[in-house]
Amino acid sequence: MSTEEFRVDGEQLLAKVKELIHEGNIRRITIKNEKGETVIEIPLTLGAIGALLVPTLAAVGAIAALVTKCSIIVEKK
């Protein structure tokens, strides 16, 4: 398993998370604030697609409104 880290501004957060989900081959997405504290962890499984992601993406949107800069850590299979 490998990990990647992306630093984004709050307004770019939701778009980047959606982009990563559509890429596929991702096991987990962790969003951390500027202090390095985990804000949300999103486990992604084959069953977690479509309508099941809507509440999660809404939560990511709310987080984006609250943070100015954050990190997205992506665990790939």
List, for residues 23-70, the tens digit of each pLDDT value. Answer: 878 889 999 999 999 999 988 875 556 666 788 889 999 989 888 899
Q: Please, how many CA atoms are within 13 Å of residue 45, restricted to the half-sphere of its CB? A: 2
Query: 38 or 21: which carries more pLDDT confidence?
Result: 38
Map out the domains of the chain as residue ranges: 2-76
pLDDT of residue 51: 62
Distance CA 66, CA 33 (A): 10
Q: Please report the pLDDT score of residue 15 as a whole number.
A: 94
Q: Are 39 and 67 in contact, with CB atoms under 8 Å apart?
A: yes
Task: Quote the pLDDT of residue 49.
Answer: 60
pTM for this model (two decimals): 0.85
Q: What is the DSSP letter of 52?
A: G
- CATH architecture classification, 2-76: 2-Layer Sandwich (3.30)
